[in-house]
């Protein structure tokens, strides 16, 4: 089924924000697909440099095209006709069968290098020689852009480096080196392949036609009765010198490349081995191994801080503050990556300004981050609390974060940007489009939520209680009392204003307009945090209504289907998609707070934990992980059945929160220092 196979995508990452990705048929269906997508300012400024490699196999006088591309209304060539298998583990590998010849193609990305290698193994049982031509399709564009060769103000320049070729652009924006293994040669024979069609972008009503430059081809041969391995290597840099420097670190033989592959596979095996060692009593099923590997894909190096950060989702998201901090426990603490957790906290702490943690970083080097968020800052406090629950490392918090944390609270009390301030009732008031429900269309905020959003108050209270705990630990009695009093006041005001007695759940927003009684999943955060702003009885009612009206197989709906604003499909142009984004669309990350709150109300009893796994997590782990982004979890799903995956095919907080809820709440393996820490108050 070609259509079904085109919906299954694989992804390799390199720890820099760069990636390699396509479909299991080798047909690129998105403008984001490419064999080498390099982060030229890690982890952002990602450029498509090597789109793909298309192969031709010549047996005698017959030539077989193994590549596959889609144009408007036609596939050409259709090399997937010869595809006998595709496997993802341990690396994406295509196997073709032609006249008894087995042709295998494996894609590999070395860790912390802007490079991709494609390794070929060809088994020739015939009495005749085989000729193989590998044609690179190259580009030089940002992942958000498209190339129209007739509109270009630059051109490609080729420079031979022995059998390798350096391909640069006349505007000097990027450099790419393509090189064969020592038994191959490059033949310069250039032309443009015009109007490749990307069906996923067309479905999103976005630009969907792209031109590719073919600089020539690499020639290889396989003798009669011979099995041979060879490769094509692609390395990238901002300049030719940078690309050549990286290229010089690679050997010319496929055997030298094999050593890099072994090292990377050992590194990845180590991730799973450490997870197994950490949770000796857990059965590490295949889906759990995939989640541990997926975790690794999101943790990236940020050049501006020289520390780790978190890519929010592939293929198009950068490192966002909110997503990073919500994801931090599942990505780094549950998996025992405590040093990575420190670095991520320091990355965002460094850019804290006027008491606000960045919403996201600019894609351009030197540009200041964007600060249009009210919740990222408050999630920072929760991330610090979770870090302490797992590590007990108060010294790091006191020496590196405590001063900034105190400043943040003061800025919130006094007032800061975007109308964010503590109101007279002790709750946080803020402007529109500052929560995670931040979608807009050209003429409106889809879910403005200005005023006092429910989860912001829950996070504020949780932050104040965290500060009270830390002030007590750091022997600062005046601060301890101050934070205790602020928290008590906030909780009292919340209890008075946010409970909707008629509906028996929390208002979503209290604003100047009154109270918004929309049933949304945001209230689950109030019941799931370590310092819940609601009592157990309220928590039970919140969980019950969410389960009955918002549950959507792979996550929680953002509105119930009974709401007149509900939009059950996330399709069409930007306006339609953003209108649906938080008005019915299912979000997988909400599984985290939902499962946590659900099992808290059930006191984590064993029968309920088994029920929660089978009902809430198993569909995601055992079904969805084999769809869309293979081995990972999608960002969102249609609100309507069958809840088709949408958005990013691999999303950090979808993976992180489902994994955290599984370990902490379903398996009920609690953080080592949790009990001692929470008993401090």
What are the tokens at 80?
């997937």
Determine the pLDDT at residue 102: 99
347 is written with which tokens? 């990355």
Per-residue pLDDT of 469-507, as tens digits, reads 999 999 999 999 999 999 999 999 999 999 999 999 999
Q: In which band, very low, low, confident or very high, does the pLDDT at 363 lie, cut at 50, 70 and 90?
A: confident
| Topology annotation, domain 279-678 | Glycosyltransferase (1.50.10)
pLDDT attached to residue 160: 94
Q: Which residues of 85-103 are buried (b: 16+ CB within 10 A; e: fewer)?
A: ebebeebbbbbbebeebeb
Asked whether residue 367 carries a pLDDT value surpassing 80, the answer given is no
* DSSP codes of every residue in 196-256: EE-HHHHHTTS--EEEEEEEEEEEEEE-TT-EEEEEEEEEEESSHHHHHHHHTTS-SSHHH
Span 278-302, mean pLDDT? 94
Beta bridge partners of 76: none
Mean pLDDT in residue range 152-178? 93
Q: What's the pTM? A: 0.96
Predicted local distance difference test score (pLDDT) of residue 251: 86
CA angle 330, 598, 383 (to 5 degrees): 30
Q: Which residue has the tokens 């978190």?
A: 310
Specify whether the CB–CB gap between 39 and 76 falls below 8 A: no
Phi first, then psi: give them for residue 444, nearest 5 degrees.
-165, 160
Is residue 281 predicted with pLDDT exceeding 90? no
Q: What is the pLDDT of residues 638-667, one digit of tens each?
A: 999 999 999 999 999 999 999 999 999 999
Pairwise CA distance, residues 481 & 473, whole Å = 13
For residue 520, give the nearest of 454, 461, 579, 457 by alpha carbon: 454
Q: Percent of the chain, pLDDT > 90?
A: 95
Predicted confidence at residue 283, as pLDDT, reads 84
Which token pair is 554? 């792979």
pLDDT value for 455: 99
Q: Choose between 182 and 232: higher pLDDT.
A: 232
* 653, 323 Cβ separation under 8 angstroms: yes
Mean pLDDT of the chain: 97
Distance CA 530, CA 389 (A): 10
Contact by Cβ (8 Å): 11, 649: yes
From CA 22, how far away is CA 42, in angstroms rounded? 21
Domain spans of the chain? 2-247, 279-678
pLDDT (0 to 100) of residue 362: 80
Q: May I ask the CATH architecture of the domain 2-247? A: Distorted Sandwich (2.70)
């Amino acid at each position: 089924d070609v259509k079904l196979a085109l919906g299954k995508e694989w992804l390799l990452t390199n720890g820099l924000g760069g990636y390699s990705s396509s479909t299991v048929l080798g047909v690129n269906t998105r403008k984001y697909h490419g064999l080498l997508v390099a982060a030229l300012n890690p982890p952002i400024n990602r450029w498509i440099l090597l789109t793909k490699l298309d192969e031709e196999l010549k047996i005698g006088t017959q030539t077989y095209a193994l590549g596959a591309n889609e144009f408007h209304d036609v596939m050409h060539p259709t090399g997937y006709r010869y595809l006998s298998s595709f496997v993802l583990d341990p690396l994406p590998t295509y196997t073709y069968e032609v006249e008894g010849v087995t042709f295998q193609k494996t894609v590999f990305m070395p860790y912390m290098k802007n490079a991709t290698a494609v390794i070929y193994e060809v088994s020739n049982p015939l009495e005749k020689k085989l000729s193989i031509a590998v044609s690179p399709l190259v580009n030089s564009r940002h992942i958000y852009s498209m190339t129209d060769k007739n509109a270009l103000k630059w051109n490609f320049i080729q420079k031979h480096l022995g059998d390798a070729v350096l391909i640069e652009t006349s505007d000097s924006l990027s450099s790419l080196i393509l090189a064969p293994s020592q038994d191959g040669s490059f033949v310069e024979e250039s032309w443009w392949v015009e109007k490749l069609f990307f069906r996923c972008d067309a479905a999103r009503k976005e630009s969907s036609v792209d031109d590719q430059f073919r600089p020539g081809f690499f020639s290889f041969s396989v003798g009669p009765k011979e099995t041979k391995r060879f490769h094509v290597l692609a390395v990238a840099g901002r300049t030719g010198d940078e690309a050549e420097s990286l290229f010089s670190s690679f050997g010319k033989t496929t055997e030298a490349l094999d050593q890099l592959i072994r090292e990377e596979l050992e590194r990845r095996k180590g991730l799973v081995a450490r997870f197994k060692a950490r949770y000796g009593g857990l059965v590490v099923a295949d889906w759990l191994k995939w989640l541990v590997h997926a975790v690794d894909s999101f943790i990236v190096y940020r050049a501006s801080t020289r520390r780790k950060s978190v890519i929010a989702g592939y293929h198009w998201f950068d490192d966002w503050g909110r997503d990073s901090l919500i994801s931090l426990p599942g990505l780094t603490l549950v998996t025992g990556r405590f040093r990575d957790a420190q670095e991520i906290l320091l990355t965002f702490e460094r850019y804290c300004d006027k008491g606000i943690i960045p919403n996201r970083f600019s894609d351009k080097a030197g540009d200041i981050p964007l600060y249009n968020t009210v919740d990222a800052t408050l999630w920072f406090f929760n991330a610090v609390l979770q870090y302490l629950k797992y590590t007990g490392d108060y010294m790091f918090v006191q020496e590196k974060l405590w001063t900034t944390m105190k400043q943040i609270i003061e800025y919130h009390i006094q007032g800061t940007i975007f109308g964010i301030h503590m109101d007279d009732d002790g709750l946080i008031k803020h402007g529109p489009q500052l929560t995670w429900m931040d979608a807009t269309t050209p003429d409106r905020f889809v879910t403005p939520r200005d005023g006092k959003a429910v989860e912001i108050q829950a996070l504020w209270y949780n932050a104040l209680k965290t500060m009270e705990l830390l002030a007590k630990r750091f022997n600062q009695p005046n601060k301890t009392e101050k934070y205790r009093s602020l928290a008590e006041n906030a909780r009292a005001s919340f209890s008075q204003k946010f409970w909707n007695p008629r509906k028996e759940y929390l208002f979503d927003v209290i604003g100047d307009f009154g109270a918004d009684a929309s049933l949304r999943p945001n209230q689950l955060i109030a019941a799931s945090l370590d310092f819940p702003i609601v009592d157990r009885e309220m928590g039970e009612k919140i969980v019950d209504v969410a389960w009955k009206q918002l549950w959507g197989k792979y996550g929680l709906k953002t509105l119930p289907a009974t709401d007149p604003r509900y939009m059950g499909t996330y399709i069409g142009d930007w306006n339609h998609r953003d209108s649906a984004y938080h008005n019915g669309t299912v979000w997988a990350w909400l599984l985290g707070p939902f499962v946590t709150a659900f099992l808290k109300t059930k006191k984590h009893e064993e029968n309920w934990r088994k029920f929660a796994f089978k009902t809430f997590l198993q569909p995601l782990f055992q079904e969805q992980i084999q769809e869309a982004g293979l081995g990972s979890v999608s960002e969102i799903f249609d609100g309507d059945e069958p809840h088709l995956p949408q958005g990013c095919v691999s999303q950090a907080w979808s993976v992180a929160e489902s994994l955290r809820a599984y370990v902490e709440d379903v398996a009920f393996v609690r953080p080592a220092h949790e009990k001692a820490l929470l008993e401090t108050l």
